[in-house]
Structure 1
Amino acid sequence: MPIFIISYLVALLWFTSYAFAADKLPSWNDGPAKAAIVEFVKNVTGEGGPDYVPPPDRIAVFDNDGTLWSEQPMYVQLAFALDRVKALAPQHPEWKDKQPFKAVLENDPAGLAAAGERGLVELIMATHAGMSTEEFERIASDWVDKARHPRTGQPYTQMVFQPMLELLEYLRVNGFKTFIVSGGGTEFVRPWAQRVYGIPPEQIVGSTIKLKYEVTDGRPRLTRLPAINFIDDKAGKPVGIHYQIGRRPIAAFGNSDGDFEMLEWVTSGSGPRLGVLVHHDDAEREVAYDRKSHFGRLDRGLDEGPKRGWVIVSIQSHWKCVLRHACGLPVPSK
């Protein structure tokens, strides 16, 4: 190989490495939020330093809805459940006269809201159970690939937050293991989290429904039952983390009061800790919401987070671009 080509490649490698080192989070504006994250990572990875944390203990947990991807105008899994009601309606003629199914079929948001939490659970049970785990994985994966966000018309996998994708990768490069800890269903997130977030199925902690082991026509299978097994939200998040991960993380990222207990538990441990809340305050590039939102309500966290030393990330001030599709990046391949 000619010497000038070798020199060029060496220079290119140096420039690429320098650029990455100079701006580890390129979609983040310089400021206190970015500085706090970078300083934390620097401290816990600096061998010989007082805050050094060995790689096995470098665990970071992330909420999903509103933290890694958009949760407005409704949680994505709820949109999935509503579409499933419409798809299954021909098999259930009784639904046209029964709430909350009637409200879904008539596109009646007021009627759906009136059904409350009990009605939503009924929808989930009717649309997420009565099939094997493999069948549900296929249905959920196909829906995520084909469904479109009602406001932008983009695939839901393009409604992820580019700055958070960079943060996930930045942490992994520095020896962290990243987990999703979601109030949504574990088996709804697992089929696509690897290709979208780089997080494998075994690193998804979420809500679950009960399963039953059966042998049908000589073939073993796990059947999803119409009964809640575990709700991984609010005080359930630390419990879910303990059950599945078995170590207390050193960093936690959320966006709503549903994540409060997770951040509280993570940051109360000994040694260096990082708690981060994403504040949706950018009406122009995404949606502005916090204290009064039906989805992703952030009230207590805004009041108590700063007092607890948590980093409040302002989307408006701290992110150069927000949604993956608006940052000009392609849809992750299946």
Structure 2
Amino acid sequence: MKNLLITLSFLLVACATPRKEKAPPAPLPSWANTQVKEAILDYLKVVTDPKSPDFIPLEDRIATFDNDGTLWAEKPVVQGLFAMERAKEMGMKVNPKPSEKEFFKIVMKTHTGMSEETFEKEVKEFFDTALHPTYKVPLDQTVYQPQLELMQLLRDNGFTIFISSGGTIEFMRVFSQKLYQVPGERVIGSNFVYAFNPKTNQLNRLQKFEFNNDKDKKPVGIQRQIGKRPVIACGNVGNEGDVQMLRFSQGSKYRSLQLLVNHDDGEREFIYGEPKNTSLNWAQQYKWNVISMKKDWLKVFPDKKEPVE
């Protein structure tokens, strides 16, 4: 009887002792504890606090991200790899290092003259087999882990994410949901002229661009599709293609945040810039947050997706 009482006493004490709950994981684990990470977290704290003068309603929490060089590696541009591969399959004679004019013609011939269903199938097949020429891993393994974490943190804080890229809408929509959890209808990009054939009940892309979503056209594309300015805009140093999008976001009536990825890590990714240093100059002038791959990211790619020999 005495042993039973002792056992019951222990059980009562155990039940009465509150369990220590595990602390939630720290946000942005692949980001170093630098000024840029601090700026992101501080921004999210104030714009999601209903008591803050900088509070942003859910319907206006819009974030836009460029794709190539911002969400995954762009050396070389993945859509360019697809176009060259398709050209070979079609028996086209192409220059291995085509000029800009030659490459434009290759894109026109490899991306048009077929139904949307056929094109989507071809892009999926390409992603299932193609390897990055430098890393020797599948292309979907060259996404940036820190950016995946950032996008998830934004979603957790009620933000709606859009991709705004110079790549074509049709190409990006094939993988945007799988890679970034961004549905196809939230992709803003360049697009071809379409023609509908009622007899075949098919939409076909013609060899003509309707809209080139790059540089000063990015704010136009965003306004056409979203109808409001983003409060967060993220692009990268490379071809001066994102500065207008970041500047456009600064015109919001709400407090905004601009992020610019700088490719300064030759060991884990690549080092490159711009002839006139335009993006970094704008960043300094307008006080944007420059993300140093080398200093601000603890890792570039997910652990299981590191480049292999």
Count of aligned positions: 294
How far apart are the structure 2 equivalents of 1:9 and 1:69? 45
How far apart are the structure 2 equivalents of 1:198 and 1:315? 23
8 Å CA contact retained: 2:262, 2:293: yes
Distance of aligned partners of 1:10 and 1:213 in 2 relative to their CA distance in 1, 3 Å threshold: farther
Aligned to 1:78: 80
Aligned to 1:63: 66
- Correspondence 1:321 to 2:304: no
How far apart are the structure 2 equivalents of 1:139 and 1:213? 21
- Correspondence 1:42 to 2:45: yes
Higher helix share goes to which structure? 1
**1:66 counterpart letter in structure 2:** G
Distance of aligned partners of 1:273 and 1:85 in 2 relative to their CA distance in 1, 3 Å threshold: same
Q: CA RMSD in A?
A: 2.2
How far apart are the structure 2 equivalents of 1:189 and 1:255? 18
SS of the residue 1:261 aligns to: helix
**Counterparts in 2 of 1:122-141, with a 5 A limit?**
122-141=105-124
CA shift for structure 1 position 307: 2.4
- Correspondence 1:312 to 2:293: no
Aligned to 1:237: 218
**2:53 counterpart letter in structure 1:** P
8 Å CA contact retained: 2:219, 2:248: yes
Alignment match of 2:24 (pick from 19, 25, 31): 19
Distance of aligned partners of 1:5 and 1:65 in 2 relative to their CA distance in 1, 3 Å threshold: farther
8 Å CA contact retained: 2:243, 2:282: no
Once the two structures are superposed, residues 57-83 of structure 1 have per-residue CA deviations (whole angstroms, 9 ceiling, x without a partner) of 0000000000000001x2110111000
For structure 1, list consecutive stretches of 5 or more residues without a partner in the other structure: 90-94, 293-297
**1:249 counterpart letter in structure 2:** P
Distance of aligned partners of 1:158 and 1:220 in 2 relative to their CA distance in 1, 3 Å threshold: same
SS of the residue 1:181 aligns to: strand
CA shift for structure 1 position 268: 2.4
CA shift for structure 1 position 19: 3.3
Look at both structures and tell me which one has the larger radius of gyration over its CA atoms. 2
Alignment match of 1:179 (pick from 139, 159, 162): 162
Distance of aligned partners of 1:86 and 1:6 in 2 relative to their CA distance in 1, 3 Å threshold: farther
Aligned to 1:203: 186
For structure 2, list consecutive stretches of 5 or more residues without a partner in the other structure: 1-10
SS of the residue 2:299 aligns to: coil
**1:241 counterpart letter in structure 2:** I
- Correspondence 1:225 to 2:189: no
Identical aligned residues as a percent? 38
TM-score when normalising by structure 2: 0.90
**Counterparts in 2 of 1:254-269, with a 5 A limit?**
254-256=235-237, 257-269=240-252
CA shift for structure 1 position 323: 1.6
Aligned to 1:295: none
Aligned to 1:194: 177
How far apart are the structure 2 equivalents of 1:270 and 1:10? 45
CA shift for structure 1 position 221: 1.3
How far apart are the structure 2 equivalents of 1:202 and 1:3? 56
CA shift for structure 1 position 281: 0.3
SS of the residue 1:19 aligns to: coil
- Correspondence 1:164 to 2:147: yes
How far apart are the structure 1 equivalents of 2:250 and 2:16? 47
Once the two structures are superposed, residues 145-175 of structure 1 have per-residue CA deviations (whole angstroms, 9 ceiling, x without a partner) of 2111001111110000000000000000000
How far apart are the structure 2 equivalents of 1:209 and 1:45? 38
CA shift for structure 1 position 183: 0.3
How far apart are the structure 1 equivalents of 2:119 and 2:138? 20
8 Å CA contact retained: 2:72, 2:144: yes
How far apart are the structure 1 equivalents of 2:89 and 2:14? 59
8 Å CA contact retained: 2:66, 2:242: yes
CA shift for structure 1 position 299: 1.8
